[in-house]
Amino acid sequence: MPKIITNNPDYFRKLMRLNVFFGLILFAAMFFLIVTGQYENLAARMETENLLNAFAIGGLLYSALFFILCRFTSPHLVASK
Protein backbone atom coordinates (compact mmCIF):
# COMPACT_ATOMS: atom_id res chain seq x y z
CA MET A 1 0.00 0.00 0.00
CA PRO A 2 1.13 3.58 -0.58
CA LYS A 3 2.68 5.35 2.41
CA ILE A 4 -0.02 8.01 2.54
CA ILE A 5 -2.63 5.32 3.24
CA THR A 6 -0.58 3.25 5.71
CA ASN A 7 0.47 6.34 7.68
CA ASN A 8 -3.01 7.87 7.71
CA PRO A 9 -5.83 5.29 7.62
CA ASP A 10 -8.41 8.07 7.85
CA TYR A 11 -7.36 9.19 4.34
CA PHE A 12 -8.45 5.79 3.01
CA ARG A 13 -11.85 6.05 4.72
CA LYS A 14 -12.38 9.58 3.37
CA LEU A 15 -11.68 8.24 -0.11
CA MET A 16 -14.27 5.50 0.46
CA ARG A 17 -16.85 8.06 1.60
CA LEU A 18 -16.13 10.18 -1.45
CA ASN A 19 -16.84 7.17 -3.67
CA VAL A 20 -20.14 6.54 -1.85
CA PHE A 21 -21.09 10.18 -2.44
CA PHE A 22 -20.12 9.93 -6.12
CA GLY A 23 -22.35 6.87 -6.60
CA LEU A 24 -25.31 8.61 -4.97
CA ILE A 25 -24.81 11.71 -7.12
CA LEU A 26 -24.74 9.49 -10.21
CA PHE A 27 -27.98 7.82 -9.14
CA ALA A 28 -29.67 11.17 -8.45
CA ALA A 29 -28.62 12.58 -11.83
CA MET A 30 -29.88 9.52 -13.71
CA PHE A 31 -33.15 9.56 -11.75
CA PHE A 32 -33.64 13.24 -12.62
CA LEU A 33 -33.05 12.52 -16.31
CA ILE A 34 -35.48 9.59 -16.23
CA VAL A 35 -38.24 11.65 -14.60
CA THR A 36 -37.80 14.80 -16.71
CA GLY A 37 -36.96 13.17 -20.05
CA GLN A 38 -38.82 14.23 -23.18
CA TYR A 39 -38.67 11.81 -26.09
CA GLU A 40 -39.70 11.89 -29.74
CA ASN A 41 -41.34 8.46 -29.77
CA LEU A 42 -41.78 5.34 -27.67
CA ALA A 43 -38.76 3.54 -29.14
CA ALA A 44 -36.44 6.42 -28.27
CA ARG A 45 -37.91 6.55 -24.78
CA MET A 46 -37.42 2.84 -24.15
CA GLU A 47 -33.83 2.87 -25.44
CA THR A 48 -32.83 5.93 -23.43
CA GLU A 49 -34.53 4.86 -20.22
CA ASN A 50 -32.95 1.40 -20.37
CA LEU A 51 -29.52 3.02 -20.55
CA LEU A 52 -30.33 5.50 -17.77
CA ASN A 53 -31.74 2.70 -15.59
CA ALA A 54 -28.52 0.71 -16.02
CA PHE A 55 -26.43 3.70 -14.94
CA ALA A 56 -28.74 4.43 -11.99
CA ILE A 57 -28.58 0.84 -10.72
CA GLY A 58 -24.83 0.82 -11.30
CA GLY A 59 -24.51 3.98 -9.21
CA LEU A 60 -26.44 2.40 -6.34
CA LEU A 61 -24.37 -0.78 -6.47
CA TYR A 62 -21.16 1.29 -6.60
CA SER A 63 -22.29 3.23 -3.51
CA ALA A 64 -23.29 0.06 -1.68
CA LEU A 65 -19.93 -1.59 -2.40
CA PHE A 66 -17.92 1.34 -1.12
CA PHE A 67 -20.22 1.80 1.87
CA ILE A 68 -19.58 -1.82 2.88
CA LEU A 69 -15.83 -1.38 2.37
CA CYS A 70 -15.92 1.79 4.45
CA ARG A 71 -17.74 0.02 7.28
CA PHE A 72 -15.33 -2.93 7.25
CA THR A 73 -12.34 -0.62 7.50
CA SER A 74 -13.84 0.99 10.60
CA PRO A 75 -11.46 1.13 13.59
CA HIS A 76 -14.24 -0.42 15.71
CA LEU A 77 -13.78 -3.69 13.85
CA VAL A 78 -10.05 -4.06 14.54
CA ALA A 79 -9.20 -7.30 16.27
CA SER A 80 -8.08 -6.93 19.88
CA LYS A 81 -4.60 -8.14 20.87
Contact between 55 and 24 under an 8 Å Cβ cutoff? The reply is no
This model's pTM is above 0.85: no
Q: What is the pLDDT of residue 79?
A: 61
pLDDT tens figures, 65-80: 999 988 887 766 556 6
Q: What is the pLDDT of residue 47?
A: 94
For residue 25, being part of any structural domain is answered with: yes
For residue 40, being part of any structural domain is answered with: yes
For residue 80, being part of any structural domain is answered with: no
List all residues 6 or more positions away from 12 whose beta carbon is below 8 Å from its beta carbon: 5, 73
Residue of 55, 67, 72, 54 whose CA lies nearest to 19: 67
Contact between 63 and 27 under an 8 Å Cβ cutoff? The reply is yes
Cα–Cα distance measured from residue 20 to residue 27, given in angstroms and rounded to the nearest whole number: 11
Give how many domains the chain has, as a whole number: 1
pLDDT tens figures, 2-54: 565 556 667 778 888 899 999 999 999 999 999 998 888 999 999 999 999 99
For residue 31, being part of any structural domain is answered with: yes
pLDDT higher at 63 or 5: 63
Q: What is the pLDDT of residue 69?
A: 87
For residue 52, being part of any structural domain is answered with: yes
Q: Which domain holds residue 69?
A: 3-74
For residue 11, being part of any structural domain is answered with: yes
For residue 79, being part of any structural domain is answered with: no
Amino acid at 6: T
Cα–Cα distance measured from residue 37 to residue 31, given in angstroms and rounded to the nearest whole number: 10
For residue 26, being part of any structural domain is answered with: yes
